[in-house]
Amino acid sequence: MTTAAPPTTPGALGAGKLSPIQGLLRRRGLAKLLLLAVAAAVLVPLVRSAWPGASWPGALTVDLSGPLDHASNWIIDNRDSHWLFVYVLGHLSNAVVLSVRGVYLLLLALGWTGVTAGVTLLAWRVAGLRIAAVALVSFLVSGALGMWVPTMQTLALMIVAVLASVVVGALLGLAAGLSPRLFKILRPVLDTMQVLPAFAYLLPVVMIFGIGVPAALLATVIYAAPPMARLTALGLRGADAGVLEAVSSLGATGRQRLLTARLPLARKELLLGVNQTIMMALSMAVIASMIGAAGLGDRVYQALASVDVGAALAAAVPIVLLAIVMDRTTAAAGEKLGATPAAAGPRLLRGWPAWAGIAVITAVAALVGRLAGSAIWPAGATFAIARPVNDAKEWMVNHLYSGVPVVGGTADWAAHFTNWVLNPLRDGLTALPWYGVLLIVAALAWLIGTWRTALTAVLAMAAIGVLGVWKPSMDTLSQVLAALALTLVLGIGVGILAAGSKRFEAVLRPVLDVMQTMPQFVYLIPVVALFAVGRAPAAAAAVVYALPAVIRITTQGLRQVDPGAMESARSLGATRWQTLLQVQLPLARPALLLAVNQGVVLVLAVVIIGGLVGGGALGYDVVTGLATGNLAIGLVAGVAIVCLGLMLDRVTQPTERRTTGKGA
Amino acid sequence: MTGTAADTTAIPNPCEAGQGSAADDTGTQPVVFSVRHLWKVFGPKAERIPEDASVTDLSARELREQTGCTAAVRDVSFDVRKGEVFVVMGLSGSGKSTLVRCLTRLIEPTSGDLEMDGEDVRAMDRTALRELRRRRAAMVFQHFGLLPHRTVVDNVAYGLEIQGVGKSERRERAAEMVDKVGLAGLEKRRPGQLSGGQQQRVGLARALAVDPEVLLFDEPFSALDPLIRRDMQEEVVRLHREEGRTMVFITHDLAEALRIGDRIALMRDGQIVQLGTPEEIVGSPADDYVRDFVRDVPREQVLTVRRAMRPAEDGEATDGPALTPDTLIADAIEAVARSGGPARVVDGGRCLGIVDSACLLNVVARIPQPHHDAPGEVAA
């Protein structure tokens, strides 16, 4: 009897491991797959007999280039005569030009002394001494790199764009926060806008406004306002119901309720919204250099076009510094909200006297700068880093690109990656029958989500085919998949390590912080330096850009696993490896799914931008469309990017999405 | 001294006469809240439920199955009189929190009559209702409902701010209230820096600051530690003694209800099962549910000697220590034990009866005294 007992125990345990829910899920997943298989068995022969061949059938495409050209010509012809342009868009465009110009002139008038003093004091007032020091150093470095004027151009655009985005976003968010019906309509739109690559927004605004500052600013606002709207709405809706009830019980009117309770209770979300809006606006303001925004982004863009890594770096450093200063300042302002008033600094630094003091000191500094005779930036006080950086790059080209013993060279790696991973993947995807792709998309989206998500994904994918850009889309998709696989392997691996070691995480955290604040554009520079141009560097930039988010989500997910479950596993004598595989990872499944979703969204954004450095495919179509004024090509590619983004998001979307990814 | 036999027959029903003193006082007081046949039904076509005689008698579960509606408050009627502490007690889900919110229409009642000082609350328009909430009835909440971004004193002044009282005046009155609830010195703190008990004191001060006619408490101390809860209960009793303000108090804690309530309405499934003084609830439970509820109450702490006494026999009426009819059994036990003999129950110089150790033990041991015990006043 006693000897018979032990063998039965493991069996019972094994059966117990498969919880009823899991079993049901598994069976439900199977049912979905079966249903799809039946549908496929019926539809595929029909489809094949109608349109043989693997590529998207020509009969099913709609050539939009004619109508689009027509529309674009019509806009160009009527820009000066039609009432819509003369009375609405014209004024809008003028207002944008005037305000950006005005802010730019003001910044120039303040001179480097005034601007630096003003920004430093502002950072001090809002975020404390340490961040003020960072701001001071950042602006001085930007000037010293000879980038003062472009920095001011970017700053002027940013100031106007952020103000506009915050106002538009807050108003939208307010409306959605107060009206449940509007919230229901707006939320999926905002959610989707947040996952679309920045490139998708460029063409439509160019079509209407032409290349120039208004288009750049509008694209920035469209890209940066959704997080503000989203977080405002969520903040207002999430306000503590108990507090609101108490406020009502005291007889507050609707307006009093909003002003004294609802908005103050949502302050954290509002400030987070401002922070995200600023970061996204910076990211877009840099990319918008392609459609007429002068400034740092333009310098990077020009330098990349001639593969001048040194010049690109000189412009990229101020971008990164600007990003860090803005992010830290707004983030610190958000953190300080919860602190006691006593901790907010000495009395002198509070209330309107502080603001007035900042204004006065700024003006004085500007005046002193003027009197000292250097309005913009002292001519002698710059040092050009372009040449030494380019020398270093030359050395790298000569010594690291190829022929390094044993490991090969970076150019060799890029070539191998292209030949052995990207090419087969692309060829495979292109060779796969189009209905096969649709089926796979449907199966994935349905397994992980609902039939709605599956339908959206399939329709988005079909739209790509209908638009006639199936082939370049498959090319882009292959790059996304390769980069995603690499990102997930690296990101989850590093995430597991970071979750296991506090010390490693402490080292990693500041690195991730900086990486997550950098605009997407900046990532192209180092990869071009290392791998030259082509599809491999584009994929590499995408991997580097998406890694921080994936690492962070994985680490958080693993850390949040119920310690009770881990403890019980350890008490049963599980090894570390067993605990990881059997307890931690399965319990962190939602976080891992989220990491995949965020990874896909971020990778796609940069793969598309990779069109600038030889990534080809859809991104290249947008770039060519812009460069040659052939809006039809660009617009179609833009729509395809939207569809691809939608499809990838839906295919990987876990039922509940969180708001962690910054600058997605 | 008059004849004892005549005296005891003059009071055939000690229980009925033996309502708590507060209830005696308030029995003649004007009615503040008058609630008649009040219903609150959640669900589709809720307004039809109270009128539909075929479903009004169903149990909660049957009602939900048949109509998809939940009746949180079912045909409830009671009066709250000026100056009394009216406790509504019941387990969670019994509808008591919904009931108290209906009083100021934070939750809109489905049907029934609701009057405050003779005014029809249900007929009030928005402005009148806002005035009622601003000045006449203030509420204290279980989870405090404080504004986290404001200091203690600004939280307390919030009600006045909403009324449009000037800054200096409302600060001054708020500071007074902060003092009154024992938070002096913490004026500049934020709610997040206070303990739960302190936060609820802020909530109490905020309600008191608008000087309301009625204070409504919605399970105010449920989220607090037992010791702090006791402190806060004493605080409420003290405030009531000092100011005599009318209070409606919601709780699920029987001990709390018995400690502070002048009258208690016991709710179950949206209905009032029994309404009476603590002594009536404990001494004469209306049904098995109430009996079960009050089983563990230490009866000697709630019941009075009225319920224990027997008629005086010859010679007893002049002997032994004298007790008033409102003396708690616990105190009577002490008196009897000290004197070693029976004690007299004396009211205004008349001897109402005698309590000896046997009588007292009978009450504590829950043994009925057939010739004196009678059913209490059972409402609705």
Contact call for residues B150 and B199 (beta carbons, < 8 A): no
How many Cβ atoms from other residues are within 10 Å of residue B140's Cβ? 28
Range scoring the smallest mean pLDDT among A159-163, B55-59, B249-253? B55-59
Q: Decide which of A43 and B191 is more confident.
A: B191
Helix, strand and coil in chain A, % to nearest 5: 85, 0, 15
pLDDT band at A663 (very low <50, low <70, confident <90, very high): very low
Name residues 446-485 of chain A within 8 A of B (Cβ): none
CB-based contacts of B377, cutoff 8 Å, min separation 6: B16, B19, B276, B280
Mean pLDDT value across residues B250-267 = 90
Binary contact (B106, A250; C-beta < 8 A):
no
E strand or H helix at A53: none
Q: Is the pLDDT of residue B244 over 60?
A: yes
pLDDT band at B374 (very low <50, low <70, confident <90, very high): very low
pLDDT band at A545 (very low <50, low <70, confident <90, very high): confident
Pair type for strands B85-89 and B246-251:
parallel
Residue of B nearest to A262 (CA): B147
Average pLDDT score over chain A: 78
Q: What is the pLDDT of residues A303-342, one digit of tens each?
A: 877 777 778 888 888 888 888 888 888 888 777 765 544 4
Domain boundaries, chain A: 410-655
Calpha distance A663→A509 (Å, rounded): 18
CB-based contacts of B340, cutoff 8 Å, min separation 6: none
Mean pLDDT value across residues B172-197 = 87
**The pair of three-digit structure tokens given for residue B319, joined into one six-digit string:** 């002997």
Backbone angles phi, psi at B123, to 5 degrees: -90, -5
Q: What is the pLDDT of residue B23?
A: 43
Beta-carbon-side half-sphere exposure of residue A260 (alpha carbons within 13 Å): 25
Backbone angles phi, psi at B90, to 5 degrees: 180, 165
Walk me through the domains of chain B, giving residue ranges and CATH numbers.
Answer: 4-19+299-364 (3.90.1280.20), 23-293 (3.40.50.300)
Q: What is the pLDDT of residue A4?
A: 40
Encoded amino acid at A362, one letter: T
Q: If phi over 0 gives left and psi between -120 and 50 gives alpha, with beta otherwise, what is residue B374?
A: beta
Q: What is the pLDDT of residue B373?
A: 43
Domain A410-655 architecture: Orthogonal Bundle (1.10)
Backbone angles phi, psi at A588, to 5 degrees: -90, 15
Question: Nearest-CA distance from B35 to chain A in Å?
Answer: 19
Interface of B with A (CB under 8 A): 104, 106, 130-135, 138-139, 141-149, 151, 158-159, 161-163, 188, 190, 192-193, 203, 206, 210, 216
Q: Is the pLDDT of residue A8 over 80?
A: no
Mutate to test the interface with B, among A243, A245, A247, A250 (most CBs of B within 10 A): A250
pLDDT band at A349 (very low <50, low <70, confident <90, very high): low
Pair type for strands B31-42 and B111-116:
antiparallel
Backbone angles phi, psi at B37, to 5 degrees: 50, 45
**The pair of three-digit structure tokens given for residue B325, joined into one six-digit string:** 């009819």
Question: Nearest-CA distance from A339 to chain B in Å?
Answer: 10
DSSP state letters, A335-350: HHTTS-GGGG--GGGS
Q: What is the pLDDT of residue B249?
A: 92
Select from A597, A493, A606 the least CA-distant residue to A551.
A493
**The pair of three-digit structure tokens given for residue A494, joined into one six-digit string:** 């590093």
Supply the pTM of this predicted model.
Answer: 0.77
